[in-house]
Structure 1
Amino acid sequence: MLDSLTAHAGLLNPRPEYPRPDWERTDWLNLNGSWSFRLDQESIGASEAWQLKEESHFGSTIVVPFSWSSPLSGVGENVKGTGWYRRTVSWAPSEAGSLVFLRFGAVDYDCEVWVNGAHAGSHQGGYGTFEFDVTSAWKTAEENVIVVRAQDEDHAYQARGKQGYGEIRGIWQTVWLEARPEAYIQHAKFHTFIDGRVEISARISAARAGEARLAFDFGEGSVTAQSVHQLKAGDNEVAASFQVAEPQLWSPDTPHLYEGAVTLTSLSGEDRVSTYFGIREIGSARFGERGYRWLTLNGKPVYLNGTLDQAYHKTGYFTYPSDEDMRDEIYMMKRLGLNFVRIHIKPEEPRKLYWADKLGILVMEDMPCFWGDPDETARASYDREALETIQRDCNHPSIFSWVMFNETWGLKTDSRTVSVTGDSAQQQLYLPETQEWVRDRYRWAKSIDPTRIVEDNSPCNWDHVESDINTWHFYINGYQQLRDHLEHVVSGTFPGSELNYIGGNKQSDAPLMNSECGNVWGIEGGAGDSDLAWHYRYMLNEFRRHDKLCGFVFTEFRDVTNEFNGYYRLDGSAKDFGYDGIVPGMTLRDLHSADFIVVDAAPCVTTDAGAEAAVPLLRSSFSDRYHGERLTLEWELAYDELGVRRVESSGVVQLDWDGYGTSPLQPLVLTMPQRDALAILSLRLVDGQGKVVTRNFTAFDVRSGQPGGEYGADGGTLSIPVRSFSEHSFAHQWEAIGGHKQNGGKEGSFVFEAVLPDAGEQALITDVDIWFEASSKRLLARNYGVDKEQRTDINYMHGDSADSEWNRNTYPMTGEHKHESRVEVLIDGERAASFVLPDDPADARGILSWHYQPAANKLNEAGSYGYLCRASLPPSLTAKLDTTRRFKLELRASEGGLALYGRNAGRYPVDLVVRYR
């Protein structure tokens, strides 16, 4: 029976759209939906399939096209074995005499198909599309029985990628019937040039010899051409070409598609296929006097702001519930200002690639990896699936690169070695013969698709062999550590260098690009669920310092089961990076601008009040949009003084904006405020029409060295360290960030003893304000004081998940889901004020919580901060303080808990502050 999740999702007729908008016919029938199903964990041979032709042999149902392990299938059993599918259908092609094809988007792994008891064919592989001509078995005026046997045993040679997140077992992409005439177009590959030339190589199948006309009609009739061919019976390879006048080029900014049709007309009838192409060229080139190449799109440098997309959905696993979900994935990338995505360890569904074409985002598509030894069986399996991937997806203008392998997965051979003690140990080796096979696969891919960038292996082990692009992976936390690492990579990148290559191979002048980065694994034990905004800004800022670097791939687009470093959470809800709370209007898009202002300095520096600071700046341009123009750099040094924004200094600099790459600007020379402050230098690059091109910032923790309790003629200030509370009543209480943050949960109070200085008998206290920075406190599993035994055998790639609440680095980043609390301020037991604390946030606004982290590779409530609260005491309480000058300050929290931030934590450089006059 279908479960409530499936029914509620409206998936009784799921994914009704044609699955291949890049190659679409009109005479077809979607077979998604409810099929009879049987799951056998013990293998049943294909020869026994005849036993399963009757409905009585199937004990349940399944929703196609969802993996039987996924919730949306209605089965939800993650077990290996054999899945049997049965479906009855009546359907007749619209044209008499047409051929009938049964088509499968993808089935994992070994597949056998019968129609009306006749064996239709078989296929091996989990990711490729395939079809069977079932014309001879099909009954056009009767009910037909389709039986599918899909066996998935997780063999070591299977290409599986990262199915550990959610296994794709059995049918996991659309199944459909399709009619064609006896002469039809199997495939057509478009090769475009930016001068408007379009060359086509097509494969045509014909039942008999004869003349046929191939016609092209695109761009609402603006592009038309035709050619005549003499066909032989069987498969025919034909070539054609045409010229597009005044071509409109495809790019992420202008994703123009020429949509139309290819039509084959012969004695067998007419085969019309709707398709499209985009005119664009991918390459690499040197510019100026540089001894290295940049990636180019349409002959111009392009900086790739990209993300790693695991393409995983919580309920459908690697099958999206709907076409709208796939469209939204691309939209959500575009809204961040990204122009590029790396589809990780799998070919993407054709409809999602369509939306990448349509909305405009460049795609780096990985081949799926196997996890066993690279033996002959694994190599043969890999070759079949890689060929299917490239052939299926070659016409998508969004795809600019094929990645043949990832991080040497599946390329290491287990060998038995004997230690000095005589014990046998396991060692994995990337053997020279395997390296040569990888080189061969790189060259093979180049031979069948010379129009794209091909990468041999996307490495984290410094082990390229031969590649069109020199990429590497790193996961490092800490500004100086990351800066040093980038310096090492960039300085070691030049033709002839052995850095990042293996087996005596050396670098060419191929473009240098990062293909995985972030801090998700740059923290001891993993970053858990923590703020990524602070690290992200300084990392991207450091990338743009280096003229050689032409892009990056951030890990990752969405959180997944054991990685919480996404721009979005797995459910699609957004994370708040907090940049607009530092520089008004700033978003992630500012960091992804093709024209950028680099701050060549640490993200926060401790400095003295009144000190002079020189801030080095650079310009970085990977677009000619503003070349030859004068842009304005607006800068401002400002700080917050207990809720009042103070501008210390500001100015404008006129910049002649010309030329690609990175070059230095005159540094800004600033004078710091004459008091304790968290000063923000904000930068805005503005064009001639007043539009902001990009924003950036850096911070200064300004320290005056003055005590907080000085008294003046117009009043005084008493500073109370948050760690100095005299008592608390929380069930769970602990400190963080060197004692500058105090936490309590769930409900309870912090009590402080306060004494106002005696200013003489004639001095009256007429007004008292109490200021403090506070947030709610969400208790995590680890905060309850029970240590969970840590497993050492966790394998995240093959299904183990991480409970982030037990990770000691976890402090959930600010997002759409809030954790509210209420705090009351009491003076000697009398209520003085009450505040709602909306959340327990952590993002880039928690500058001091980042700046004073004790270790770069461990997170101690990093990025956390609170809300500035001001309690103005009523006259009745102020009168008592004028008499006693000693009082108990109690901060009492509801069950949402309470966190108090001191001088070196949070967003504001203050402890508890009592101001009086």
Structure 2
Amino acid sequence: MSSIPRPEYPRMQFRREDSWLNLNGEWRCRFDFGKTGVERSWQEKTDAYDRTILVPFCPESTLSGIGYTDFIESIFYARRFTIPAEWAGKTVLLHFGAVDYAATVWIDGREAGRHQGGSASFTFDITAFARPGVEQTVVVHALDELRSGCQGGGKQSYGPYSAGCHYTRVTGIWQTVWLEAVDPAALASCRITPGADAGVFALEPRFRLDRRGFTFTAILSAEGRELTRVTVPAATGVPVTVPVPSPRLWCPSDPFLYDFVFEVRNENGGLIDRVESYAGLRKVHIEGNMVYLNNEPVFQRLVLDQGFYPDGIWTAPSDAALKRDIELSLEAGFNGARLHQKVFEERYFYWADKLGYLTWGEYPSWGLDWHLPEARYRYLEEWLEVISRDVNHPSIVAWSPLNESAHPSPETLAIAYPDQATLERYRTFVRNIYDRTKCFDPTRPVNDSSGYIHAKTDLWTVHPYRATAAELKAALRPADSEVMTHAPKHECAYTGQPYIVDEWGGFKFIPESHRKTAQAGWGYHGLDLKTPEELCAKIEEQVDVMIADPGIAGYCYTQLTDVEQEENGVYCYDRTPKVPGGDLKRIFGKKPAWDKTK
């Protein structure tokens, strides 16, 4: 077993596993409460760092070895590393899975790069600073001003303690840090768009440098057998079509994945780069009020997954834990998840692809003050980075860029949108988000704002938390409207989009085994169910309301696990079950009335 935490290769759709170096493990760090570290040249004076931290776990987590949970707006990290001598002459890349929020990196005291955004992965070319075979020092400064209104924090708490549906904060490095050596003209990325109807994959390669006479080869395989090989001149952005003989489509019941190898050769035919990848051949589209997967209507039985862990906060303690969360969801009868107010790490989507698990990609939009131009700019910049990183994953079937952008109470709406001009600025911004998302990825539906105020959307999503089935039914089909609307005077008109109940439930139940250790937590509706049977009955009566309605295209139950004081998961925070095996699967596995398949 590796002594390095999270030792697995982090990027399974773009693999060069013979030329990488994992930098997870012990780093030195120093809190910078006065935010004066740069002025004091801490990027050079690393001997003064007074703590040890285990990367990639944030300092708020127990797995980091620190567990400090008050605000840390500024922190410095440092570690020594040695680039392998055989990397001499190569381009050396320094990759970060994610750093919350703004990162500045120095190599031996010289600035190597800056990145802004707490959820997107990023890379710096440090070739100019690299000294293969010689010990060097990397310093990372993370600035995390969560309460500024200019950065998305998702469900991180904006007060000193966790409260309501806000939880322990995440500061600094929270995903794998690693080095990679590549040829100067290596492949930089390759977008893979499945064409299920045509039986093809459309590739869009991008190269670090364009060179005359270089070629790009895509080799498609299935189950170890080569199917197709296509070679073209290496040219950034020029599409490449790869035919798929006897296509086998990716779906939850058969999550079949094709393997790709991408090769770049120079003008003499010499191999300068080799990247391994994979892809799923599948199609997602909308017809009328239904979502279709591979030209068949699909009822999405999703669960809200916030991706928090008791010991790692936003960072899973292991790769196995990422996989296990998906397995737990499947065992409870769900066929996918709305990944809520967090950008999950790439390894999660790898397991979702492998296991046939439908997901919605979401940005941690809570905390952004939409009235601030800087907030809007930062959001759009990072959201497109997130889509760019994850666009190749077949398991992602929708994008959900915003969540509950303003609570639809008259008091809150009056503050958020005091006049028509302010409301229209918000609508214009959301339409812009929708248009940019669709421009970048026209192959998936976009849920502009999950619940509350829609401005331009492919999916009509609502959050009807109701205590009883009768109340839920009345909310979903109001007498004065075709569908539920949270703020009729503020949102766009419903025009027949798929109608999805993408938050509901939230019923609190604490098993006897956890009642002594449970926090003074909460669930929706003020209910405090006492037995697994009561929980199942409450869930089932509301599932039955939704699957009996032919106009409802799916739902998302709140939620997969308890998170700190929010105790409404179908599993406890430590992932132990609340309900005997099979009971939930029978309920959540129910098909809608229109589905006549066996």
TM-score, length-normalised on structure 2? Answer: 0.88
Q: Counterpart in 1 of 2:493?
A: 506
Change in Cα spacing, 1:554 to 1:171, as seen in structure 2 (3 Å) is: same
The separation in 1 between residues aligned to 2:488 and 2:580, in whole angstroms, is 36
Partner of 1:71: 62
Corresponding residue number in structure 1 for 2:575:
572
1:266 partnered with 2:258: no
* SS of match in other structure, 1:505: coil
**Please, which of 369, 384, 404 is the counterpart of residue 373 of structure 1?**
369
Deviations 1:303-357 (A, max 9, x none): 1111000100001001001000001011111112211100001211100111110
How far does residue 414 in structure 1 lie from its aligned partner after superposition? 11
Query: Partner letter of residue 179 of structure 1?
Result: A
Structure-2 change in CA distance of 1:36 and 1:244 (3 Å): same
Match of 1:475 among 456, 462, 465: 465
Give the match for residue 536 of structure 1: 539
Name the counterpart of 2:135: 143
Does the 8 A contact of 1:499 with 1:506 survive in 2? no
Structure 1 residues 91 and 538: alpha-carbon distance in aligned structure 2, compared to 1, 3 A threshold:
same
SS at match of 1:217: strand
Give the match's secondary structure for 1:488. Answer: coil
Q: Which AA in structure 2 matches 1:32?
A: N
Mapped to 2, the partners of 1:356 and 1:542 lie a distance apart of: 29
Residues 188-233 of structure 1: per-residue CA shift (max 9 Å, x gap): 11111223111111211117544223332332233322232255xx
Partner of 2:316, secondary structure, is coil
Q: Is the 8 A contact 1:90 1:144 kept in 2?
A: yes
Contact map agreement 1:310 1:344 (CA 8 A) in 2: yes
Tell me, yes or no, if structure 1 residue 308 matches structure 2 residue 304: yes
Q: 1:177 Cα shift?
A: 0.3
- TM-score, normalised relative to structure 1: 0.58
The aligned runs of 1:415-494 (5 Å cut-off) are 429=418, 431-459=423-451, 461=452, 463-488=453-478, 492-493=481-482
**Structure 2 gap ranges (5+):** 158-166, 509-521
Percent identical residues: 32
Is the aligned partner of 1:58 residue 2:49? yes
Q: CA deviation at 1:533?
A: 1.7
**Number of the residue aligned with 1:325:** 321
Per-residue CA distance 1:484-538 (angstroms, 9 max, x = gap):
223328x8337xx978655473111211111100144998873357553221010
Find the residue that maps to 2:225 and give its secondary structure. coil
Partner of residue 405, structure 1: 402
Judged with a 3 Å threshold, the aligned counterparts in structure 2 of structure 1 residues 61 and 376 are, in CA distance, closer, same or farther, namely same
Q: Give the CA deviation at 1:566.
A: 0.9
User: Aligned Cα RMSD in Å?
Assistant: 2.7
Distance in 2 between residues matched to 1:153 and 1:257, nearest whole Å = 41
Task: Give, in whole Å, the separation in 2 of the partners of 1:53 and 1:117.
Answer: 5
User: Shift in Å at residue 47 of structure 1?
Assistant: 5.1
Deviation at 1:46, TM superposition (A): 3.3
Question: Is residue 72 of structure 2 the alignment partner of residue 80 of structure 1?
Answer: yes
Residues 446 and 66 of structure 1: CA distance in aligned 2, closer, same or farther (over 3 Å): same
Residue 595 of structure 2: aligned partner? 622
SS of the equivalent of 1:46 reads coil
More strand per residue: 1 or 2? 1
Instruction: Name the counterpart of 1:515.
Output: 502
Specify which structure has the higher proportion of helix.
Answer: 2
Corresponding residue for residue 160 of structure 1:
153
Bigger Cα displacement from structure 2, 363-372 vs 386-395 = 363-372
Contact 2:433 2:448 in 1 (8 A): yes
Equivalent residue number for residue 173 of structure 2: 171
Equivalent position of 1:255 in the other structure: 255
Change (3 A) 1:526 1:185: farther
Partner of 1:592: 588
Q: Any idea what the Cα deviations from partners look like across 1:6-40, whole Å, max 9, x if unmatched?
A: xxxx9952000111112111210000000011111
Distance between the aligned counterparts of 2:356 and 2:135, measured in 1?
A: 44
- Sort the Cα spacing of 1:499 and 1:14 in 2 relative to 1 into closer, same or farther, 3 A: closer
| Residue 110 of structure 1 pairs with residue 102 of structure 2 | yes
8 Å contact from structure 1 (residues 166, 318) kept in 2:
no
SS in 1 for 2:360: strand
The 2-side partners of 1:121 and 1:87 are apart by 17
Distance 1:576 1:520, change over 3 A: closer
By how many angstroms is 1:147 displaced?
Answer: 1.0
Shift of 1:166: 2.0
What is the match of residue 518 of structure 2?
A: none
Cα 1:44–1:314, aligned 2, differ >3 Å: closer, same or farther?
A: same
Alignment of 1:405-804 (within 5 A): 405-409=402-406, 429=418, 431-459=423-451, 461=452, 463-488=453-478, 492-493=481-482, 502-503=489-490, 505-520=492-507, 526-527=526-527, 531-576=534-579, 587-593=583-589, 595=591, 620-622=593-595, 624=597, 626=598
2:512 counterpart residue number = none
Q: Distance in 2 between matches of 1:206 and 1:466?
A: 39
Matched, 1:228 2:246: no
What letter matches 1:100 in structure 2?
A: V
Letter in 1 for 2:152: A
Cα distance in 2, alignment partners of residues 83 and 253 from structure 1: 46
Cα offsets for 1:563-596 (capped at 9, x unmatched): 2111100001001269xxxxxxx62222233646
Q: Which has the bigger relative contact order, CA under 8 A and spacing at least 6?
A: 2
Question: Could you tell me which of 24, 46, 68 is aligned with 2:15?
Answer: 24
Cα distance, 1:180–1:453 mapped onto 2, change above 3 Å: same
Q: Alpha-carbon deviation of 1:94?
A: 4.4
CA deviation after TM superposition for structure 1 residue 361, in Å = 0.7
Instruction: For residue 454 of structure 1, give the secondary structure of its aligned residue in structure 2.
Output: coil
Residue 281 (structure 1) aligns with: 283
What does the per-residue CA deviation read over 1:854-877, in whole Å, with 9 as the maximum and x for residues that have no partner? xxxxxxxxxxxxxxxxxxxxxxxx
C-alpha contact (below 8 Å) 1:215/1:264 kept by paired residues = no
SS of residue matched to 1:163: coil
State the secondary structure of the residue aligned to 2:505: coil
Change (3 A) 1:209 1:414: farther
User: Quick one: distance in 2 between partners of 1:359 and 1:377?
Assistant: 39
Question: In 2, Cα distance between the equivalents of 1:87 and 1:411?
Answer: 48
User: Does 2:35 align with 1:43?
Assistant: yes
Instruction: Name structure 1 gaps, 5 residues minimum.
Output: 1-9, 287-292, 418-425, 579-585, 597-619, 627-917
Q: Find the residue that maps to 2:537 and give its secondary structure.
A: helix
Query: Does 471-480 or 441-450 show the bigger shift?
Result: 471-480
Post-superposition CA distance 1:766-825 (Å, at most 9, x none): xxxxxxxxxxxxxxxxxxxxxxxxxxxxxxxxxxxxxxxxxxxxxxxxxxxxxxxxxxxx
How many Å separate the matches in 1 of 2:523 and 2:218? 58
Instruction: State the one-letter code of the partner of 2:481.
Output: G
Deviation at residue 473 of structure 1 after TM alignment: 0.4
Aligned AA for 1:159? G
Structure 1 pair 273–528 and aligned structure 2 pair: CA distance change class (3 A): farther
Q: Distance in 2 between matches of 1:171 and 1:194?
A: 38
Give me the whole-angstrom Cα distance separating, in 1, the residues matched to 2:28 and 2:497. 53
Residue equivalent to 1:6: none
- Deviation of 1:363 after TM superposition, in Å, equals 0.2
In the aligned structure 2, how far is the partner of 1:30 from the partner of 1:411?
A: 46
Contact 2:87 2:132 in 1 (8 A): no
Does the Cα contact within 8 Å between 1:217 and 1:223 map onto a contact in 2?
yes
How many Å separate the matches in 2 of 1:574 and 1:346?
23
> CA–CA distance in 2 between the matches of 1:371 and 1:413?
20
Q: Conserved in 2, the CA contact under 8 Å of 1:519 and 1:535?
A: no
